[in-house]
Structure 1
């Protein structure tokens, strides 16, 4: 079997719009090697232009055929009758493999995509070249071997930029020398410019774009974040803006809703303007450094929630409508009781997993708690979800506390008593209103 590289000029064929419209790619036009392509051959798709690189791979499902394209609306000009090869895409990559990475690989030496980039499709790949592309695709899915910070690590910002490039002056700092976009969140300095970043109950983070006056636009750093998948750049989030900053892991834009627009005051409390809020999802942000303090002072969530129906795609059914209002009421009532008994109540800090509430006693022992509303319709699902969440929180925080225990706090006693024993067997205390002594003693 052979291997091929198929090039795509986005100015000729709008592959981005093609994909966003939900179209299925099943063929590619070719102009040479027509007698050589065959079913079972491997291929990779290479997009050209400023963001050049590999965006997908798969296999041909047949030999050369002739006909008209089935999607002329995505072409700048109607290609008419063409030769094409049928294919099946195995995977569209979440992160582009950039041209710069492959151009620096000695195994790609002599590849026609570099020596004859203008040549017609397809480009034949030698075995070593195809293996190099496969290795680069595999590497794009894991951690960058050239990145040496773990979530929770602290570093002086000047040293950070010496290692990984980017400007030391901006909150969004794309690097020209490495494959990273460095992002900094700091309420102490950001609020004066109308930057109100928010940590959300579902574990996501909303990051305000750059632009201190006037409506923010999708340019410069904002554009870099918005296009990070297309450019193959990794989003690296840091807590702090000056001096020593803390790494909070790698994040990606939410593919369903990458950003929203809101209103915020301009620098110094000026008139409101439109701001961009990027919706970031963590890739791997677990922090295990025992020197990183768990939690921050408890912040009571607003219980006055307008009910809205939960959707099948909701990541947690407890975070919508009636469930959300009940969830917050339960959580605040438990926090109030813990405070009355002398415990220091905590909300998640930037370095923590997204627990609902935690508390610390006088001997520095920490309890981490997940809160769940219960109805007859969702009881089993809520208990399963809550148990998994609190086990995960306990595991993540166990190396950062001298002693830690976990609590699953629910709206009422479960209808099936087996849940109490099940939780006990895995080291979790299951309790509900009226059982405060079981968890606050």
Structure 2
């Protein structure tokens, strides 16, 4: 490896072709290890991230960590090629140099890039795993690397991560029911949008029927960035509801998993109930009772009926 030295100042614009000529590395990838200089070049482009419905890239709140999503556009990302180059850059004696997209090179359609500084990977928690859609809009697992600055940095307000860094401990707080919640990725599709609307309308009818106040929990598990939002929580009765717009077996099985996931983060532990647009089959009611979940379903013209988890009979 031949080190020709690094003479590009922090904050300078440097196109990919010029960078290739001076320091090596290929032209188009998001992560480009150089074969001629001891560098790994990392390119962050928030606009491109938004096109896939996520954007983990950017600084955390106090600008001590820069988050960067690994490479791999289809399926679960793998720890190889560019991702491995980031993970092993210190043992390989390479510098991590981060660039952010900014405008276009004059007279061309090629994006320009601004050099924001040299980084090293966090030794204790080099990355965490997140879910994000791939090119086919299928959810998969991605690496989000945690990078620490070495020396000077160039900061832009637009380079703030929209998710922020992972939580050290789990946080669970009660929030108003009307608080805006976005749990789906961008471009989720008609089916997902319709399901969310049906669940929201079902919750509204149930709240009106009981004429009482409900809240919801916002839960951010340790080691993750995205909070989880429950559907309905009855603080007076300490009961947690999950609403589904359909009473299919698949929907009910998924709902049970969600309720059990939420429940373990809430103190004191709430009782659980599933809110449905109509009565499910007897076998599914038995399934709910076997895992301690009550069933509340809507009956046309007569409101809602509850089958408590410990009774097996409507109440």
What is the TM-score of this pair, normalised by structure 2? 0.46
The structure whose residues are more often helix, as a share, is: 1
Q: Point out the structure with max Rg over C-alpha.
A: 1
What is the TM-score of this pair, normalised by structure 1? 0.33
